[in-house]
Amino acid sequence: MEFLVASAVGVLSAAGIYLVLRGRTFPVVLGLAFMSYAINVFLFASGRLVVNQPPIYGKDVAAYTDPLPQALVLTAIVISFGMTALVVVLSLRTFLEAGTDQVDGVGEIDAEAEVAGEGPASERPVRRDVEAAP
């Protein structure tokens, strides 16, 4: 059981890191979500995996699970939901302002021009048909 949970944490972490390093905003948002899921599973597993045990201590209970990791995971779920909502709104605003969803700020037109051999964007003439940002 521990190997399965550790493998799940590793796969979620690897997928999250890979997606966070992508050049578009949507994979970055998904990567942050995968990272928060990996952290939640890690926190939950840190309280020792015990099956069919109550989380509250009582006089008639012989064994119980640690309720602290469960409380931490519930708090982390709320925080990660708020963080994800904020990142989605920021990425949408950036897309509407910049016209591209590239994370590094280089648009597709600039990247295609550099591949075509027209040189970097700083050496090309400014396009007048594109409205400049205020």
Instruction: Please state, in angstroms and as integers, the Cα–Cα distance from residue 37 to each residue in 2, 11, 13, 64, 101, following that order.
Output: 17, 11, 8, 25, 24
Selected residue with higher pLDDT from 64 and 23? 23
d(CA 3, CA 23): 33
pLDDT tens for each residue of 47-99 = 777 777 777 777 777 777 777 888 888 999 999 999 999 999 998 998 888 88
- Tell me, yes or no, whether 128 lies in a domain: no
How much is the pLDDT for 82? Answer: 94
Give residue 9's Cα distance to chain centre.
Answer: 14
- Tell me, yes or no, whether 90 lies in a domain: yes
Six token digits for residue 106:
């280089």
Selected residue with higher pLDDT from 53 and 41? 41
- Tell me, yes or no, whether 132 lies in a domain: no
- Tell me, yes or no, whether 94 lies in a domain: yes
**Average per-residue pLDDT in the chain?**
80
How much is the pLDDT for 131? Answer: 56
Total domain count, the chain: 1
Owning domain of residue 66 = 2-123
Helix-strand-coil split of the chain, %, nearest 5: 60, 0, 35
Selected residue with higher pLDDT from 18 and 69? 18
CATH number at residue 67: 1.10.287
- Tell me, yes or no, whether 131 lies in a domain: no
- Tell me, yes or no, whether 99 lies in a domain: yes
How much is the pLDDT for 113? Answer: 57
Which whole number is the average pLDDT over 16-29? 91
pLDDT tens for each residue of 95-126 = 888 888 887 765 555 555 555 655 555 555 55
